Structure 1
Amino acid sequence: MTQFTDLGLAKPLLKALADEGYTTPTPIQAQAIPGVMTGRDLLGIAQTGTGKTAAFALPILHRLGEDKKHAPRRSARVLVLAPTRELATQIGESFKSYGKHMGVTVAVVFGGVKYGGQMRAMAGGVDVLVATPGRLLDHLGEKSITLDGVEILVLDEADQMLDMGFIVPIRKIVRYLPKAPRQNLFFSATMPSEIEKLSGEILNPNPLKVSVTPQATTVDRVNQRVLFVEQSRKRALLGELFDDAGFKRVIVFTRTKRGADRVARGLEQSGVDAVSIHGDKSQGQRERALAEFKAGKVRALVATDIAARGIDIDAVSHVVQYELPNVPESYVHRIGRTARAGADGSAVAFCADDERNLLKDIEKVTRQRIPSFDRRNDKHLGAATAAMPDVGGKPERADTRGSQPHRGQHAPKRNRNHSGGGGGGGGGSRHEGAPARSAGDKPAFKGPSRGGDRGRGGGSRSGAGGGGSSAPRPTGVWSNR
């Protein structure tokens, strides 16, 4: 088995890896590091959680160490573009950690904070600049940052850049780069046509191609299950799941900012320590929430998709998709928050009637059928699911409590298209598939969004009650497909 010591990395890097307890590279690291060390361009197809940050950070640091020189004022030798503040911060921390015995200088630039500190950090030039596209363009426009010294360009999570409308800003940034030959490293979890076109524009001919997993497949170590539940019962079910002590460190995903805050409040009312994180939170609030979650001070972190690729925390026991994402590829990135660093993990997806089409889209993209809950084999979901029927039978009531409507409610009607089941999880707040950003981090042009408007809250196509057949629908929590 290949070890880091077999890859020819500089001794200071090997010492830093040993300090972190890393000895064996992941598949993408083993395949990418030798080629990148020689200066080749790279096209990497890798889903989140595969270790791709080290796959580019380690060989880049090796190259910087072999050719030591100072970057020009207000510039950098390496530019890494990332879609979110959290991911940019994470990448910056990785460069600092791996390069701690090399004296490497790193600056991280993103929106939502004042410009002064970023300008001071860049004034003398740095080895590595990690930036979000919107804020970087602002600095370039003010000439507080230049890209004259960039020798290596890294584009991370390119497909999320597409979802967030950053493709045009990226093309503008590339035009600021020097014309001299440079090394380009391009990473994406999926390869839609627009991303393939962008890679062709940025990469030099005949790049090294590394694909560690088929397009959009999910992490093999994640135990995935879908739980069919009425929209109105999701909150109660989520609280019941946390009755299981096995749900130690859990990330809960919602589609909207308002929904994230609402779910976090609901968990707190149930006695579960929880915090929320989304685009409307200040940078300080987001950093505090992540720190509390990482330190184990709270059991649940409720997040929108803006956080799906920016959270790199070990020992996340479960990911719960309280609402299915509008963009099916986001399902992959959400569940990638668990089963990291070689560990196992579990992912639970709630699916209401008005989300069944979203589930079909996810299964089409991931090329798999996500298993329904099976009481006989799914002990990892805990006691909260004891009343759920086994898969395979006809739809039935989950428990005897569900035979009558809840007080003050009418029993929803069965709809032939399964599109009933009262209002959705959004509450009408802004969808965050393409989040609003703070000043300086807003793309100059809103690019294409693959998410559309499907699956938002506020009812289904056939109305809030889901009219149709006059036969009453059972009001228990669970149902089969």
Structure 2
Amino acid sequence: MGPLRSRRSLPVAVHEGRPKRSRRIPLTTFSELGVIPAIVDALADEGIVNAFPIQELTLPIALTGTDVIGQARTGTGKTLAFGIPLLQRVVAPLDDEWSELVDFGKPQALVIVPTRELCTQVANDLLVAGKRRGVRVAAIYGGRAYEPQVAALQAGVEVVVGTPGRLLDLRKQRHLDLKHVKSLVLDEADEMLDLGFLPDVERLIEDTPASRQSMLFSATMPGPVLAMARRYLRTPTNIRAEASGDETTVPLTEQHVYRTHKMDKIECLARILQAEGRKLAMVFCPTKRLAQQVSDDLADRGFASAAVHGDLGQGAREQALRAFRSGKVDILVATDVAARGIDVDDVTHVVNYVCPDDEKTYVHRIGRTGRAGRTGVAVTFVDWSDMTRWQLIDKALGLELGDPAETYSTSPHLYSELGIPEGTKGTLPRAARTRAGLDAEEVEDLGETGRNRSKSGGGRGPVTPRGRAEEDPGPRKPRPKRNRTRTRTRSGQPVEAGAEGSSAPAESAPAGGPAAEGGDAPARTRTRSRRRTRSGAASEGDAATD
């Protein structure tokens, strides 16, 4: 069956690089799409009433149990597109059919995601949608202790959301039983391909029943992912939420690209982060070291920033994301670990500190803004050596942004295009430093595994704003002294103190000295001179003399 396409235009269009609002068309409500009242009411409690295009096209098909391949731009609501059919198929503890189950508490749905951050986000969204039915959802991912996750599985869950590595570990330990799975979801399948997870995913799929419903969702569909879909999905329906002529990036995002010098990037970034109307911002870097360095530089300039990258422990990473979501920090500097699926409200600016490697990375990075009908600004810094790579991205996505203009932190067009007030410098004024900062967010002890936690900033001590753990050794007990007896030997034979030829120091001062008269002065130590001996006999003059 060919791909379904949206018959409705998107709520906005892009003209000359600026979002221009057009007339909005009322969206269909979830109740009109056949969603049960318990889920509709749970979503309404969170202010979610209308469906987005990917949800409107997917729900009527997925609710019938048909396999689905869903493709839509990042930030358009794919989680609920597969989450609602998944929740509607499981039997929850508050349902009448609960007493008829043969095996209570066994997972009835499995969602496989590529990253830990996406795992927690999907699990939270499913908990919100299924709270009125009492659906239990377990987030299974690495970097945390095994015991709480094993306890959750033993207590019983209806939905498991996890990363491939930890799911396989618990499967091998026989804590995870997938024989009762009714619905299987692969979210961000192309990212799992890039990370090399597809063999692990296939092993997990083979443990699920053949009668399951399978859904595969992603923003891009490379060949290996489609091959896996043809192998494990049964006559799936391909769904795309936009017309073939629509651009891949979100049209609500205003995109800018500047050719900057690497020594001036931090100055340009500091000015962009002071643009009018900026709320939360994300800065993407290609390496862990550069991400930490940029975060530290921004903190030194007065910005409330936090870093998320692979060198941090899971506790520090979750601390930074919680602080970012709550507004205690307004700038998150991250590697691509945060580029997939992280949905945070009010992200108005995304900055690519270095030109992305390809168009897929670019799409997923700038997709952190302009989400759920909101507008956003995406800025990309391109070095002189990156011009060829940027031209390939521009051509592949049809952006038609042309050659980037040479830009410095004092360039007038940087201020005018991004709405930066005149006179803005590279340091945040003290009057504008109103955020609580990363220190205001506590670090959760996750019982992290698999790394030196003192270096990763998780689970051992308080974490500094720059992600380094401070040691808390606590009181130390005095070290017991060992009584050791030393025996002097010469040529393998023990030598008694005071014997002829002995090198033992004198125990008293010469006659007539202070010690001999009963004084308190210490004894004087004689000077020893070592001489070579033959056959164990001391040569003449070997004995110490006054």
TM-score category (smaller protein): 0.7 to 0.9
Q: Does 1:52 align with 2:82?
A: no
The residue number in structure 1 matching 2:346 is 315
Rounded Cα–Cα distance in structure 1 between residues aligned with 2:113 and 2:96:
25
Q: Secondary structure at the match of 1:225?
A: strand
Deviations 1:285-322 (A, max 9, x none): 11111111112111210000011014210110100110
Q: Aligned-pair distance for 1:383?
A: 2.7
Give 1:199's match in structure 2, choosing from 209, 229, 235.
Answer: 229
What pairs up with 1:35-434 in 2 under 5 angstroms? Answer: 35-64=61-90, 68-69=97-98, 70=101, 72=103, 75-179=106-210, 181-205=211-235, 207-213=236-242, 214=244, 217-370=248-401, 372=404, 379=416, 381-383=418-420
Amino acid of the residue matched to residue 189 of structure 1?
A
Task: Pick closer, same or farther for the CA change 1:258–1:438 going to 2, 3 Å.
Answer: farther
Q: 2:191 & 2:339 partners in 1: Cα distance?
A: 10
Number of corresponding residues: 389
How far does residue 71 in structure 1 lie from its aligned partner after superposition?
A: 7.9
- 1:174 CA drift (Å): 1.3
Partner letter of residue 63 of structure 2? M
Q: 1:71 to 1:43 in 2, by over 3 A?
A: farther
Task: Report if the CA contact (8 A) 1:73-1:125 is conserved.
Answer: yes
Q: Which runs of 5+ in 2 are unaligned?
A: 1-25, 425-447, 452-546
1:29 is the counterpart of 2:60: no
The amino acid of 1:151's aligned partner reads K
Q: 1:204 is paired with a residue of what secondary structure?
A: coil
CA contact under 8 A between 1:71 and 1:125: conserved in structure 2? no
Distance 2:319 2:337 in 1: 16
Post-superposition shift, 1:376? 7.2
- Per-residue CA distance 1:396-438 (angstroms, 9 max, x = gap): xxxxxxxxxxxxxxxxxxxxxxxxxxxxxxxxxxxxxxxxx97
Give, in angstroms, the shift of residue 365 of structure 1. 2.9
8 Å contact kept, 1:43–1:187? yes
TM-score (norm 2): 0.67
What is the Cα deviation at residue 37 of structure 1? 0.8
Kept in 1, the 8 Å contact 2:355–2:383? The answer is no
- 2:525 corresponds in structure 1 to none
Give, in whole Å, the separation in 2 of the partners of 1:74 and 1:119. Answer: 13
- Shift in CA distance, 158/384, structure 1 to aligned 2, threshold 3 Å: farther
Would the aligned equivalents of 2:276 and 2:420 in 1 still touch at CA under 8 Å?
no
Which amino acid is 2:229 matched to?
A: S
**What's the offset of the Cα at 1:284?**
1.4
Greater CA radius of gyration, 1 or 2? 2
Rounded Cα–Cα distance in structure 2 between residues aligned with 1:147 and 1:370: 49
Do 1:110 and 1:136's aligned partners in 2 also have CA atoms closer than 8 Å?
A: yes
2:347 aligned counterpart, secondary structure: coil
CA change 1:200–1:36 in 2 (3 A) is: same
Distance (Å, rounded) in 1 between the aligned partners of 2:331 and 2:310: 18
Q: 1:21 to 1:300 in 2, by over 3 A?
A: same
Instruction: Please state whether the residue corresponding to 1:184 is helix, strand or coil.
Output: strand
Contact 1:71–1:77 (CA under 8 A) maintained in structure 2? no
Q: Which moved more, 1:321-330 or 1:242-251?
A: 242-251
Is the 1:325–1:331 Cα contact (8 Å) retained in structure 2?
A: yes
Partners of 1:306 and 1:67 in 2: how far apart? 41
Cα shift at 1:178: 2.4
Whole-Å Cα distance in 2 between the matches of residues 202 and 67 of structure 1? Answer: 32
Residue by residue, what CA displacement relative to the aligned partner does 1:61-102 show, whole Å, maximum 9, x if unpaired? 222258944584674100000000010110100110001101
Provide the rounded CA distance (Å) in 2 between the counterparts of 1:267 and 1:55. Answer: 38
Say whether the 8 Å CA contact 1:73–1:122 is kept in structure 2: no
Q: Is this contact kept in 1: 2:273–2:281, CA < 8 A?
A: no
> Aligned pair in 2 of structure 1 residues 377, 113: CA closer, same or farther (>3 Å)?
closer
Contact 1:72–1:148 (CA<8 Å) still a contact in 2? no
Q: Secondary structure at the match of 1:320?
A: strand
Structure 2 CA distance, aligned partners of 1:259 and 1:158?
27
1:23, distance to aligned residue in structure 2 (A): 1.9
Of structures 1 and 2, the one scoring higher in RCO (CA 8 A, sep 6+) is: 1
Distance 1:385 1:323, change over 3 A: farther
Q: Per-residue CA shift, 1:14-64, capped at 9, x if unaligned?
A: 111211112210000000011111111101011210101011111222222
Cα distance between partner residues in 2 of 1:26 and 1:129:
25
Residues 1:283 and 1:260: Cα distance change in structure 2 (over 3 Å): same
Which residue identity is paired with 2:316?
Q
SS in 2 for 1:325: coil
